[in-house]
Amino acid sequence: MSKRPPSKRFSARWLERLIPIVLFLLLMGLLAVIIITALSFL
Amino acid sequence: MRYIPYFSTIVTFLFMIAVFRRYQQRRGAHLLLWGIGLLFYGLGTLAEVILGLTYHSWVLKIWYLSGAMLTAAWLGTGTLHLLVRKPSIPRGFTWLIGLLSLLSLILLAVAPVTSAPYDVQRLASEQYKDILVRNGWLIFLTIFLNLYGTITLVGGAIYSAFAFWRKRVLLYRMLGNVFIAAGALSPALGGTFLRAGHGDWLYLSELIGAILMYIGFTLAVKDRPQ
C-alpha cells in the first residue's frame, strides 16, 4: 500500500503463481458480497 | 460460540493499539482512520460480550451502530487516504462518512425497541431484528456504509497486492495486503450470511477477520523503509 515502493524485487515461482489465484478468489468473494447485499435490499 | 467475542475483542483492541502507536510514530490520516475503524470493530465485539451477560437496549444499539454500520466504512476510508493521490477526494469522503456516521447515531438513538424478550443465551445477531425497529433510512445507511466500506477496504487491499505482485516488489507488503483483504472479507461475508438469515456465522467471521487483518498489518509494516 505504499506510494513509492523501493525497487528491490522478490522471486519465488510458487508464490508468483499462487498470488493471482488467491487474489481472483478474493475478488470473487467481494463480488458475491456486493451482489448478495444489493439483492437483500431489493 | 458465545465466548468467541471475548477473543475478538482482545485481538481487535491489541490491533487498534498497534495501529495508533504506528500513527503516533509516523502520522498519516490512513492510520488514524484505521484506528477509529478498529475502535468501532472492538466496540461491536465488546457489545457482543456484554449482550451475552446482560441486556440493555443501548448496548444493542451500540452493537448495531459500531459493528453493522461504521467499522467497514471508517476502515475503507483509511484505505482511500492511502491509495488516492489527490488529497481532496479522500478528504471529501472522510467528511461524508463523518456526517453519515452522525446521522446513523441520531437515527439509532431515536429508533424504538420492541418489548420482545432478549435471550442472553442466544447470539445478538440471531434476535436483534425482533427487538430493534429499523426504518428505511437506517437500513439504507447500513447497506450503503457496508458496501462502500467493503469495496474500498477489500478492493483497495486486492489492488495493492496485485500492484506489488505485478512489479515483484515488497513481498511482505504484498502478502500483508492479501491477509488484509481476506480478513476484511470475512466479517463482510458474515454480515451477508446474517442478512440471509444465518446469524450464527457472524461471531466466528469477526474473530477470523480481526486475526487475519492483524497478521496482514504486521506483515505489511515489515517492508516499510526505515
Q: Give, as one character, the DSSP assignment of residue B199.
A: G
Neighbouring C-beta atoms of residue B159, cutoff 10 Å: 17
Give A-chain residues touching B80 at CB under 8 angstroms.
Answer: none
Which is more confident, A38 or B109? Answer: B109
Which residue, among B209, B217, B141, has the nearest Cα to B176 in the 3D structure? B217
Task: Tell me which of B165, B179, B186 to substitute to probe the interface with A (most A C-beta atoms closer than 10 Å).
Answer: B165
* Residue B132 identity: L
**Least Cα separation, residue B29 to chain A (angstroms):** 14
Instruction: Please answer whether residues B34 and B78 qualify as being in contact, where contact means their C-beta atoms are separated by less than 8 angstroms.
Output: yes
Amino acid (one-letter) located at B115: S
Give B-chain residues touching A15 at CB under 8 angstroms: 171
CB pairs A-B closer than 8 Å: 97
pTM of the model: 0.91
Q: Is residue A42 predicted with pLDDT exceeding 70?
A: no
DSSP letter, residue B224:
S
Q: Do A33 and B185 touch (CB under 8 A)?
A: yes
The pLDDT score that the predictor gives to residue B202 is 87
Collapsing DSSP to helix, strand or coil, A9 comes out as strand
Cell of B78: 483509511
Q: What is the ipTM of this complex?
A: 0.87
* Whether residue A9 has pLDDT greater than 60: yes
Q: What is the distance between the alpha carbons of residues B48 and B2, in angstroms, rounded to a whole number? A: 9
> Which residues in A lie closer than 8 A to residue B225 (C-beta atoms)?
6
Question: A19 and B195: CB-CB below 8 Å?
Answer: no
Amino acid letter for position B205: S
Q: What is the mean pLDDT of residues A16-40?
A: 91
Spans in chain B with pLDDT lower than 70: 199, 223-226
DSSP H stretches of helix in chain B? 4-26, 29-51, 57-63, 71-83, 88-110, 124-131, 136-167, 171-195, 202-222
CA pair distance B77, B79, nearest whole angstrom: 5
Assigned C-alpha cell, B211: 486475526
* pLDDT of B226: 42
pLDDT of residue B50: 96
Q: Do A36 and B181 touch (CB under 8 A)?
A: no
Nearest alpha carbon to residue B64 among B140, B125, B112? B125
Rounded-to-integer distance, Cα B143 and Cα B147, Å: 6
Task: Report residue B154 as a C-alpha cell.
Answer: 477489500
Contact at CB, A1 and B83, closer than 8 angstroms: yes
